[in-house]
Amino acid sequence: MKVCYIAHISGNVQGVYFRASAQQQAIEYNISGYARNLSDGDVEVMMCGHPENIERMLAWLHEGPELAQVTQVQSKQVALQDFSFFSIS
């Protein structure tokens, strides 16, 4: 069974390799979707995969890569979507 979640990550999350690091984690957790910068300085991450892997990814998003300073993560389950891989945009 697969599920999809979208997360909105706030803090110092742009210019610190957040998206590339999220992609590495997603590959490790067998998650498809995307990570993209938002115009307000936040990052949006779409994740589709098995629920236990999504939980692991959500936990990672609260920390992010070493240089990130995550202040808030808001996430919600969304309709199942079919992504072939995890992309960065």
Residue 79 lies in a domain: no
Residue 37 annotated among the catalytic residues of the structure? yes
| 22 belongs to a structural domain | yes
Range of 36's domain?
Answer: 9-74
Q: Which of 30, 37, 53, 56 is catalytic?
A: 37
Q: What is the CATH number of the domain that holds 35?
A: 3.30.70.100
pLDDT at 37: 98
Q: What is the mean pLDDT of residues 29-51?
A: 98
Does residue 36 have an active-site annotation? no
Percent of the chain with pLDDT over 90: 99
Tell me the C-alpha to C-alpha distance, in Å, between residue 74 and each of 7, 18, 29.
Answer: 5, 16, 20
Whole-structure pTM over 0.85, yes or no?
Answer: yes
Structural domain count, the chain: 1
Dump pLDDT digits (tens) for 40-49.
999 999 999 9
Residue 38 resides in a domain: yes
Is 34 a member of any domain? yes
Does residue 64 lie in a domain region? Answer: yes
Instruction: Give the CA distances from residue 52 to residues 55, 57, 81, in Å, rounded to whole numbers and listed in that order.
Output: 5, 9, 17
| Catalytic annotation, pick one of 12, 19, 36, 53 | 19
Q: Does any domain span residue 83?
A: no
* Percent of the chain predicted with pLDDT > 70: 100
pLDDT at 2: 95
In a domain, 3, yes or no: no
